[in-house]
Every structure is written in C-alpha cells, then in structure tokens.
C-alpha cells in the first residue's frame, strides 16, 4: 500500500473497532480509488457492516488511521462525514413512516449544504428519471412500497445528496430475482457514471459482475483481495468463501 496520506480517495490503515469487549475489526487496511466499485464479501458477522459504518462515522474506531480525500476523518461526526460526501445506504433502509416517497427523498438534501428550491426540483427530476417507479409513486407513503421499491428509495435518497462515495449494505437481501436484477443494473449504471461504491453483498456470483475489486473479510481481518476482471481471482474467491 502507498504511503498514508497519498492520492487515494479513501484510505484506512490498521483500523480496529470494538463493540464493548467484542473486537470486531482487527486491523483493517484498504483503499478506494475514484471511479471504482469495491466489493466486501464474507460470511455474516465477520465485520463487513461494522467496516462501512466505521467509514460513515456511525461507529468510532478504537485504533488506526482514516482519511477521505486527504483529510483525516478520525473524530469527525457522522453528520460531517456525510456532508463531506460519504453516503451510506443501510441494510434496514430506514424509510421514514408517515412520509411520502418524495418527502423521504427531500430528506436527502440534509446531506448537502443549503440547496435552493429550484435546484432541489432539478435534482429530484434527475432522480425520477433514474428511478421511474419512484416517480409514479412519489405521493405514496414510503413504507407501503414493496421491498424492492423501498430499497430503490433508500438508494435514491442518498443519491439526492450527490455523494462522492456511496456505501451500500446488502441491497438485494430478501428480494425477488427480477428486483435483484434491477438493483445490480442500477449499481452497474452508477459505476459507469463514475460513482465510487463500497458494496457489501452476499450474492457474490452477481456482485462480481459489477465490482472492479474485492476484499474478503474473516473474523475482522481482510484475508483475500483481488480484481474482478481476473478469472484466477474469481476461483480463489469462490474457494475462500466455500471454506
């Protein structure tokens, strides 16, 4: 790895994170470059979600260094990290009950500096073009949407803030195959638009089609890294996850 403080968009060095006495992340070091999609793979409970929550500032590391765009994020609040451009779509989606699809989307503007009404309207229209199903349901309560539509809404709400780095946690879990296809098509479209993404996903066979690089985590440590366009890395990845 390059010297800390280099040109990486995101760089973590020797990150340790605890929940009480539980040592969840045990020395994670990784980088994310502009325009790439990094897949985080591994069994449940190995630290993948804790890692992206640490990056988002939702969890505070107990040790290590963390920089985003050359600035240290240690001690920076989750709100400030969000405003600096790191968006997180959590696994539980957090659709606000009692609010319409559009009202949920408007909350996404809280991630950005003050945005005027005209600019908000333009951004919402752009989102509706990318998510036509949400446009059709803009006045419908967000919690009455199907699971797949709620996932789309959760992603769209973060995209409203135009994040520089998008983190998505288990976006296809529990969804019908047709909706899974739509989610992966969306991630691929975002990649083609140059949006850097950290993707936590159990469906490795599909995720490997949209990521550019991957890390496998076991017991809070990275045990394997590789490039998605390398067939040998694919085989090593599948063998690792089958162990």
Q: What is the mean pLDDT of the chain?
A: 91
Domains and CATH numbers, the chain: 10-94+163-242 (3.40.50.300)
Residues 72, 242: Cα–Cα separation, whole Å = 37
85 within 8 A of 165, measured Cβ to Cβ: yes
Spatial CA neighbour of 24 closest among 63, 67, 74: 63
Q: How far is CA 17 from the centre of its chain?
A: 18
pLDDT at 3: 46
107-142, pLDDT tens digit by residue?
A: 888 777 667 778 888 889 999 999 999 999 999 999
pTM of the model: 0.92
Cα 114 to Cα 110: distance, rounded to the nearest angstrom = 8
> In whole angstroms, what is the distance from residue 181 CA to residue 206 CA?
9
Q: What is the per-residue pLDDT across 172-198, written as a single tens digit (0 to 9) for each?
A: 998 889 899 999 999 999 999 999 999
Asked whether the predicted pLDDT for residue 4 surpasses 60, the reply is: no
């Amino acid at each position: 790895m390059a010297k800390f403080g280099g040109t990486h968009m995101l760089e973590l060095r020797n990150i340790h994170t605890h929940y009480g006495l539980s040592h969840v992340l045990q020395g994670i070091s990784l980088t994310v470059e502009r325009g790439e999609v990094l897949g985080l793979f591994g069994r449940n409970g190995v630290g993948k979600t804790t890692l992206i929550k640490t990056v988002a500032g939702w969890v505070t590391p107990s040790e290590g260094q963390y920089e985003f765009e050359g600035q240290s994020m240690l001690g920076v609040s989750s709100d400030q990290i969000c405003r600096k451009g790191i968006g997180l779509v959590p696994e539980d989606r957090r659709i606000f009950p009692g609010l319409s699809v559009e009202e949920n989307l408007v909350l996404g503007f809280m991630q950005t500096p003050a945005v005027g009404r005209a600019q908000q309207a333009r951004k919402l229209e752009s989102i509706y073009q990318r998510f036509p199903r949400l446009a059709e349901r803009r006045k419908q309560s967000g919690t009455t949407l199907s699971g797949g539509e709620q996932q789309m809404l959760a992603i769209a709400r973060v995209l409203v803030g135009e994040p520089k780095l998008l983190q998505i946690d288990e976006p296809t879990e529990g969804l019908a195959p047709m909706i899974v296809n739509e989610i992966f098509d969306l991630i691929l479209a975002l990649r083609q638009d140059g949006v850097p993404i950290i993707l936590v996903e159990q469906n490795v066979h599909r995720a490997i089609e949209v990521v550019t690089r991957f890390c496998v985590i076991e017991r809070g440590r990275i045990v394997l890294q590789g490039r998605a366009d390398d067939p040998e890395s694919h085989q090593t990845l599948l063998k690792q996850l089958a162990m």
